Every structure is written in C-alpha cells, then in structure tokens.
Chains A and B, each alone.
Chain A
Amino acid sequence: MNLLAIILLAASVNIPDDPAIRQLIITGGPQAERTLLDALPHSQGSNLVAVVKALGDLRSAGVVDACARHLDTATGDLKDVCLYALSRTTSPRAARLLRARLADDAVATAYLRHGESLAEIGRKTESARVALDLLRAKPPVVRCGAVALLTSVHGYAAQPTLLAMLDDPAPSVREQVSRQLSRMPSDIGLIAALQRATGEPRRLLFEAIARRGDPRNMALMIAGLGDEEASIQRAASLALHPMHGPQVDAEIAKALASPKSQAAALELLAARRARSQVGAVMPLLHNPSISKQAFAALGALAGPAEIEQLIALASKDEKVRDDATKAIAAAGPRIGDDARCIAALLKVPAWGLALLPAFGGKAALDAVMAATKGNDKDAAVRALADWRDESALEPLLALCRGETDLKLRVLAARGAIRIVQQSVIAKDEKAAWLQKIADAAPRPEEKQQAQAALKQLQSGKRRK
C-alpha cells in the first residue's frame, strides 16, 4: 500500500479526516516517519498541518527543518503544530529555535514541553537548562512548569533555586515552589530556612514541611498549632492528624497548656478520638475562654464517667447547660445503652429524658415509655419521637392511636414517620408502617405526610 499516495489523495479531495496518517501514527517506527517526511514537501494547507502534527506525534527529528521554515511566519493551526512538533522532538536544534523566541508565550510553553520531553527520556542536563531558562519566563504557568521540571531532574539539588523563588510575584508559582519543596527526598535546609523566614515565605515553608508528614517534625507541628496564622495552624493540624500512636496524643495534649494552641489541640484530640487524653480536657471545662471547645471535644472523647460529670455540671450551672447538652448528645451514639449514663440521666427529669434517644437501647426505651404515664409525659413523648431506631415505632403508634392530647398525638405521628423514613428496614415493612401511621394520624396534615412518604417509597426514585 502506498501510504504517501493515500495522504496526497486525501489532501486533493479534501476528506475531513486523515485515516492514512492516523494509521501511520499508530504503526510508528522509522518507515512511518520516512513516509510522512516524504509527504512533507508535497503538503500544504490542512494536509501540511496534519503531516507536521503526525511527525510531532512520532517525535520526529526530521520535522525540525520544516518547522524552522514556518515558525516565524505561520499562524493558527500551522504555528501550533510546528510548536508541538518542536516540543516533542529531542533535537538540540529544536531547543535552540525555541529558546531564541521566548518572548512569545506560546513558544515559551512549547519550550517547557520540550524540556519535559527531554526529562522523560532521562536527558537531565538539557532538561534542567530548559527549566533554568524558564524560571523567569513571563507566564506564571510556565514558571510553575519550570519549577516542577527543575525539581524532577535536579531533585534535592534544586532546593536553593526554589527557596530563592519563594518571593515570585505570582501566588501560583510560590505555591508550586512550596509543593515541590515538600516532595524532595530530604527536608534538610527547609527547617533552617523556616527559622529565617517571615510572612508569606514562612507560611509556604511551614506548609512544605507539614505536607511531608514526617513524624520527626512532630514538635514543630505541635508548635504550629499555636501559630498566629490560621493557615499554619491548619497545616500543622493536617500533618498531625494521621500520625499514629498514643504518644502523639500525649504530645498534642501538652499543647492544651498554652492558650494559643488550646483550641486547635482540642479539635485535633477530638478528631483523633484520643480517649487517653480525656483527663487533660476535663479541667478546661472550667475555663470560660475555652470551655465551649472543651465541651465540644468531650462529645467525641467522653466515656460514661465523664458523662456523669457533665450531667452533674449541667444540673448545677445553667450557663454551661447548653454546651453540656450538646456534648452528651454527641457522645450518646458512641457510648450506646450504658447503664451508668442512663441512670444518671433519669435523675434529671425532663432534661435527662430528652437526651436518652442519643443513647438508645432497651433500658432507655423502657424508661421513656414508663415516663409517658407520669408527670413528664410531654418530655417522654418528645423523646420517643426523637428515637433513632425502629424500636420506638410500636409505642409511637400506640400513642398516635390512643393518646388524648392532640399535640402529643401529632408529635408521635411525625416522629414515627421520620423514623420509618430514616430506617433501613425493608421497603415492604416501611410501607406497612407508613400505612398504619396514616390510618392512625390525628390530623389531615400528618395523614398526608405519611401518604406522601409512602408514595415516594413506592415511586422508588433515585438520586442522580
């Protein structure tokens, strides 16, 4: 098959595709390249564009002469494919042609790609030369690329050059420098540079060290928790979050001693579920400047013993009751039906009942059901309506049917509908419950709500 003939034919009849060229690109090899190079002098217009582009795909060095002829005069697609072909070939002449025209942003981009092509085949010295040429290029994206390229070929040896670029005027370049510094095989030099740095370079250097996640820098990260700059606090916290072991928790807990780092340390201990440090958190409940955060942390850390203390605090001090309530509600699902917690909550009528759904379990449910017959009936029905699993459905339905107070019947119906909707019981079972609730609901509003839920269930709609 004479592929050259096919190419020329394609050009002459203006077929809007280049199947022969596509086949040559797929086949590759010296013969395909030769065929395309032979076609080059006979090609013009869109066919010339297609042939140059194909030679670029094949990384042909033979296309450089043709590109050189067109580079300063071509526009549009031809200029674009010439730059593409020059960026793909590893010919030194291509590098010279591009280097001489770096004032043109498109050429600078092609030169960067040329350097990346050289790096891919291990020609590090030439690739580094390209990167160094472009560190002061006009487009920030090209400088970003040059920073990445220099790091990829010079590794740790690029560190001094990168450190000098932390004052680049473009934030994207500075961020790239920080990211590349974090990827280097060693952080030697970074910590010394951090100690000298101020302002934005300090933040970038800290983030570079933090991203490395090196446990040997734990002390530096813990100090960062108390930094005045929020982004440094965040970087420190992110670095400490995945570090394993109770000794890390103990070190973080030491940061509770400083007002500057207390909030970040509390948040981190909570996120890590550092139960071993709960004793270090409890005293902060009495410090008004940080108690809110300490209560929040206890939502993730408190065990039954601390829950008893929280209940006692909430009973005594109205000022902290809201925060304590939130902490107990958050801790409940984690602790579950613990007898100590349930007994302690039942000692505080109404308020304690409202918190029982967070703990759940049979004992708590029995206690709430019993309370529906006593003085705290209103709170007990509300607690049942807030229950988290299907075990409350039967008593709620009974209230829905037999309760005399309309307000409580409404509460029971709404609570039952919510439980069914959030439940993972089988569809048929859900449908049966919703039908029963619709039948028992005291007002048209709740009947409609149950029927709408039933309809939605039956339509089986799924989210995109």
Chain B
Amino acid sequence: MKSSFTRRDFIRTVAAAGAFTIVPRHVLGGPGQTPPSDQLTHAIIGCGGISASHLRMTHARLLALCDPDSQRLANRMKDQPPEVKGYRDFREILARSDIDIVHICTPPHWHALMTVLAAEAGKDIWCEKPMARTIGEAIRSRDIVQRRQRIFRINTWFRFSSSLYGFGTPAAPLRKIVANGLLGWPIKVIVGAATGFNWKLELWSGKTDVPPEPVPPNLDYNLWLGPAPYKPYFPHRVHSSFRGYWDYDAGGLGDMGQHYLDPVQFILGKDDTSPVSVEVDTPPQPADAVIPWRRVTMKYADGCAIILDGDNREKDAPYLEGPLGKIWPGLRSDIPNLARKVADLPDLPPANDDFAKCVQTRQPFVLNEQNASRSCIMVQMAACAVKLGRSLKFDPVALRFIGDDEANRLIDQPMRSPWHL
C-alpha cells in the first residue's frame, strides 16, 4: 500500500517509540533546547487584534501569518524571524505540508469554512470563538473535524481555567455542586452584569445608512468578505468593528456568547443537548447591523433556564438558582457550609487541557468540536431569535427550529461563490 506519512505522524511515532536519538539533541537544537524538527508548527490566519494573543502562544513554532489586508499583515510580520512567511490567501498555508496547526483568528463568517478546509488538509485547528456563524456551519465543522480525526479547540477556556470570567471562582466547583444535587433541579442561570458577565452590546453595535467608501488599496475586500454576501465597503464594516454586522457575527452575543454559555452548558451537564426554546426582548433589528437587545431566555426540556440579561435589569441576582439554594459571584451562597461541602464532593475527571499534547497524542482537547458546537449552537439560536425579533422553538436532536421556515433558513445560509462547505 502506498501511503503518505505526514511530518506530524513521524513526530508522534518516533516520540512514542522513545527515539530521536539518531542525531543528538544538542547538535540540532543546542544544549537544553528542543530542536526545530521536534516541534509542532503553526500558522495564524487573521492578523487583527486577537492575533496578538495567539502570537504569544508557545506551544508550536510559528511559520506563517496570513491576512487579506497587506498593512495588517505587514504590522504583524515586522517582528517575526525570517522563517515566518506572510500570505494574503490562507489556502496557500493549508497547502504547506510543514504546518501542523492553524489558528483561525478571522471574523466568524470564515471560521467554519476554514475549519473544514484545514481539517481536510490534515491540519489541527485552534479556532477563535464563536465556532461558526450559523448553526449549520457549527454542525458541519463538528462533523468534518470528527470524521477526519483532527484535533480542534475553540479559543475559550472558562470551563477549565482558574476563573469563570467575572464570577470570581473557577467553573469546576459549580459543576460539582450542580452534579451532586446541592441546588436541586431545575436550575436557573442568570448571565449578566450582576453575575459578572458583561455582554458588551453597545461596543459591538453596527451602523446603518453609512455611505459606501472606496476600498483602501491595502485591503483585498473581496477576499475579506469571502463567503459573505457582497456589501459596499465602509470602514466600520471590517476589522475591529465587524461584529456589529449580521453577515460576519452577532454583536456582543457573537463576541461573548461562547465565552459565557459554554461554561453554563458544562455546569448544567448539558454538553450533549441544547435548549428547546428561546424567547427574546429586543428592538427590531436592522437587516445589516446588530443593535443591542434587552433580554434572551433559553429553556431546556427539563425546565432549566438561562437568562441573558442584556439591559442589566437583574440587580443582586444569583448566578445559579435551584429549589434548594442560590449561588452568587464568589461562591456566596445561602447554602450553609457550601465550601466544605464542595471540598467533600468527588473530583471531576481530569481534562486534557494541553493542546500541544493533544495534537501529539491525538486525544481530544477538553473544549473540542463536540462540546463547542453545542455552545455555539446556543449562541446562534439566540442570534436567530434576536435577528428575527421573535421567540423560537428548537429541536435539540434534529438541530432545527420547529415550525419556522424563516428561522430554519438562517441555519443553512448559502455561501458566496466560489466558497462552499
């Protein structure tokens, strides 16, 4: 059988066999250093603000940067060593056999498309949130990543990190409390400023009636738009304000939704399901621009509910509330001796939170395509309801809205040619 064997396959196989002794390490990498041939390699697609944090990551050796805006690319390339190459078109990066991991730091209308293409090119993926811009794209990304056996992580971390955003403690004790029934069931979750979660709705609002402007020569606007419908250019549409436009994201929901809702799914133990309804209180949304909404309520089949408090009407609200108790930020609670009770509860299973190790051992990352697709679907459910300005029913198995064709058309939106999933 003729079989291609990737560089990464080689790294893993030799590492597993305890080899790498043919050429001494110090010859290739200097004493105490990892030789370049022994390192994972990565590329960063998208040179906007968030790429700065990806550039600081040290799990892999950077080989390439990419952006359709030559000025942004040049800014990021400035401090890079000569081995880092710059690209306008990400497909050239995917064609390189020496790149193991791609970091997708583009606006969300590219996330699923790049994830799928990267997966089929044999790359592992570190993708910015939200995982996808539509429910259909999230499902497709999940399926292709799993079928092609790629390692995927979404760039949010609050379910496993030492702090749950502004809540003041990690999410793990909350998961233990809920899983062991200390709050009873069902549980209501309030995600808003009072509980430590700012939706940034004003920040990520779009503009309406903006006159078109000439596209600056440094920007390949057609490539920036990619699969999104063509719209005349004006500066607020792109780069650091794109979240305010439905074609590319969903305002504050898109920016913070997966950060905030993924831990909720984890805490409630609902990684394998989705809410069955979403109710909204929002002013009518313009067709193009996202404007602030007031409140979104999502309910699960078992009665659990999540309230996204957009206009900060919940003062002194608990984050979690069940029939047996409430929990406020900092793990304050009306349950006596809660900290002691938590300490006596079984630990959660250990999580794979080292992405590089996951790539080398082919084990899924703790926040992978499976659970990330579910939390992304929640974000996009809410976005659909806000955009349409009405409440929706959802089938968490079929992953379709019930009895609402217009809403279902938002699940699978055609891409602009030549792009497709």
Chain A interface residues toward B at CB < 8 A: 15-19, 21-22, 25-26, 46, 49-50, 53-54, 56-57, 77, 80-81, 84, 109, 116, 136, 138-141, 144-145, 148-149, 168-173, 175-176, 179, 200, 231, 238, 241-242, 270-273, 300, 333-336, 424, 462-463
Contact at A138–B420, with CB atoms within 8 Å? Answer: no
Cα(A12)–Cα(B374), bound, Å: 43
Residue of B nearest to A48 (CB): B417
Q: Are B5 and A170 interface neighbours, CB within 8 A?
A: yes
Query: At the interface, yes or no: B148 with Cβ under 8 Å from chain A?
Result: yes
**Nearest CB in chain B: distance from A217 CB, A:** 17
| Min distance, Cβ B221 to any Cβ of chain A, angstroms | 9
Using Cβ atoms and an 8 Å threshold, which residues of chain B touch A334? 340, 343-344
Question: In the docked arrangement, what's the CA distance between A200 and B13, Å?
Answer: 10
- How far, in whole Å, are A136 and B331 apart by their CA atoms in the complex? 54
- Top 9 nearest A-B pairs by Cβ distance? A17-B230, A424-B330, A50-B417, A334-B343, A175-B362, A144-B149, A77-B418, A176-B149, A271-B347
Identify B414's interface contact among A25, A169, A273, A424, CB under 8 A: A25
Report the minimal beta-carbon distance from A108 to chain B, rounded to whole angstroms.
10
Contact of B146 among A15, A136, A148 (CB under 8 A): A148
Whether A424 and B346, one on each chain, are in contact in the complex, defined by CB atoms closer than 8 angstroms, is no
Instruction: Give Cα A334–Cα B343 distance, bound, in whole angstroms.
Output: 5
**Cα A171 to Cα B122 with chains together (Å):** 12
CA–CA, A169 and B122, complex, Å: 15
Distance, CA A263 to CA B417, complexed state (A): 58
Hey, which chain A residues are within 8 Å of B2, CB to CB?
138
A172 touches B9 (CB 8 A): yes
Quick one: which of A16, A145, A271 contacts B230, CB cutoff 8 A? A16
Q: A26 touching B12 by the CB < 8 A rule?
A: no
Residues in A with CB closer than 8 Å to B119 are 141
Decide: B9 and A170 in contact? CB cutoff 8 A. Answer: yes
Whether B349 is near chain A, meaning CB under 8 Å from some CB there, is yes
Report if B329 contacts A (CB, 8 A): yes
Nearest-neighbour CB distance to chain A for B315, whole angstroms, equals 13
Q: What are 26 A-B contacts with C-beta separation under 8 Å?
A: A17-B230, A18-B417, A25-B414, A49-B418, A53-B417, A80-B418, A81-B417, A140-B3, A140-B122, A144-B147, A145-B147, A148-B146, A148-B149, A168-B3, A169-B3, A171-B12, A172-B149, A172-B362, A173-B149, A238-B350, A271-B347, A273-B347, A333-B339, A334-B343, A424-B329, A424-B330
How many angstroms from the CA of A148 to the CA of B142 in the assembled complex?
A: 13
Instruction: For the complex formed, measure the closest distance between the CB of B51 and the CB atoms of chain A, giving whole angstroms.
Output: 15
Tell yes or no: B313 within 8 A of A by CB.
Answer: no
Whether A26 contacts B417 by the Cβ 8 Å rule is no
Min CB distance A225 to B, Å, is 14
Closest to B196 in A: A462
- Chain B residue nearest in CB terms to A25: B414
Give chain A residues whose Cβ lies under 8 Å from the Cβ of B414: 22, 25-26, 54, 57
What is the CA–CA distance of A50 and B3 in the complex, to the nearest angstrom? 35
| Residue on A nearest B169 in the bound complex, by CB | A424
Question: Do residues A22 and B149 form an inter-chain contact, with CB atoms below 8 A?
Answer: no
Contact (Cβ within 8 A) A463 B166: yes
**Which residues in B have their C-beta under 8 angstroms from that of A81?**
417-418, 420
Contact A238 B362 (CB under 8 A): no
Q: Is the interface of A mostly helix, strand, loop or mixed?
A: helix
Give every chain B residue within 8 A of A149 (Cβ-Cβ): 147
Q: Cα distance A300–B146 when bound, in Å? A: 37
User: A81–B345 Cα gap in the complex (Å)?
Assistant: 55
Inter-subunit contact A273/B346 (CB<8 Å)? yes
> Which chain B residues border A273 with CB–CB below 8 Å?
344-347
Q: Mark B147-163, 1 if CB is under 8 A from A, else 0.
A: 11110000000000001
The residue from B165, B222, B416 contacting A22, defined by CB atoms under 8 A apart = B416
**Are A136's CB and B1's CB within 8 A?**
yes
Task: A149 to B121: give the CA distance in the assembly, Å.
Answer: 18
A176 to B146, CA, bound (A): 9
Count B-side interface residues using an 8 Å CB cutoff.
52
- Docked complex Cα distance between A19 and B417 (Å): 10
Q: Is B16 an interface residue (CB 8 A)?
A: yes
Contact code string B164-204 (vs A, CB < 8 Å = 1, else 0): 01101000000000000000000000000000101000000
Shortest Cβ gap from B152 to chain A (Å): 13
The answer to whether B230 touches A15, judged by C-beta atoms less than 8 angstroms apart, is yes
Would you call B120 and A171 a contact (CB within 8 A)?
Answer: no
Tell me the bound Cα distance from A49 to B416 in angstroms: 11
Alpha-carbon separation in the docked complex, A300 to B343 (Å): 8
> Which of chain A's residues have a CB closer than 8 A to the CB of B1?
136
Q: Which residues of B contact A80 (CB under 8 A)?
A: 418
A238–B328 CA distance with the chains assembled, in angstroms: 32
B residues near A231, Cβ cutoff 8 Å? 361
**Which B residues are CB-close (under 8 A) to A175?**
149, 362-363
* Residues in A neighbouring B420, C-beta threshold 8 A: 53, 56-57, 81, 84
Q: Assuming A81-B418, A81-B420, is B349 touching A238 (CB within 8 A)?
A: yes
Enumerate B196-215 residues with CB–CB distance to A below 8 Å: 196, 198
Flag if A53 contacts B418 (CB, 8 Å).
yes
Q: Report if A333-B343 is in contact (Cβ < 8 Å); known contacts: A57-B414, A169-B3.
A: yes
Q: In the bound complex, what is the Cα–Cα distance between A324 and B417 (angstroms)?
A: 67
Closest residue of chain B to A334 (Cβ to Cβ) is B343
Report Cα–Cα, A269/B337, bound state, in Å. Answer: 24
**CB of B4 closer than 8 Å to a CB of A:** yes
Residues of B close to A138: CB separation below 8 A:
2-4
Collect the chain A residues with CB atoms within 8 Å of residue B363's CB: 175
User: Is the Cβ of B346 less than 8 Å from the Cβ of A140?
Assistant: no
Q: Give A148 to B361 CA distance when docked, in angstroms.
A: 19
For the complex, what is the distance from the CA of A50 to the CA of B229, rounded to whole Å?
A: 13
**Min CB–CB distance B164 → chain A (angstroms):** 10
Whether A148 pairs with B147 at a CB distance below 8 angstroms is yes
Chain A residue contacts of B218, Cβ below 8 A? none
Complex Cα gap A313–B331 (Å): 35
Residues of B within 8 A of A54 (CB): 414, 417
Q: How far is the CB of B12 from chain A (nearest CB, A)?
A: 5
Q: Say yes or no: A140 contacts B6, CB within 8 Å.
A: yes
Inter-chain CA distance A16–B13, complex, in Å, is: 47
Query: Complex Cα distance A108/B293, Å?
Result: 46
Q: What is the bound-complex CA distance between A18 and B340, given in angstroms?
A: 62
Q: Does B26 contact A (CB under 8 A)?
A: no
Q: Does B409 contact A (CB under 8 A)?
A: yes
**In the complex, what residues of A have CB within 8 A of residue B347's CB?**
270-273, 300
What is the minimal beta-carbon distance from A455 to any residue of chain B, in angstroms? 18
Contacts of A53 in B (CB 8 A): 417-418, 420
Determine the distance from Cα of A169 to Cα of B339 in the docked complex, in whole angstroms.
50
> Known contacts A138-B2, A148-B147, A462-B166; can you find 6 more A-B pairs with CB under 8 A?
A17-B416, A25-B414, A57-B414, A109-B120, A138-B3, A173-B149
Q: For A335, what are the chain B residues with a Cβ–Cβ distance below 8 Å?
A: 340
Cβ–Cβ < 8 Å partners of A19 in chain B: 229-230
CB neighbours of A176 from chain B (8 A): 149
Does B390 reach chain A (CB closer than 8 Å)? no
Once bound together, how far apart are the Cα atoms of A49 and B346, in whole Å?
57
Given the complex of chains A and B, what is the CA–CA distance between A335 and B332 in angstroms?
19
Q: Which residue on chain A has the smallest CB distance to residue B17? A: A200
A272 neighbours in B (Cβ, 8 Å): 346-347
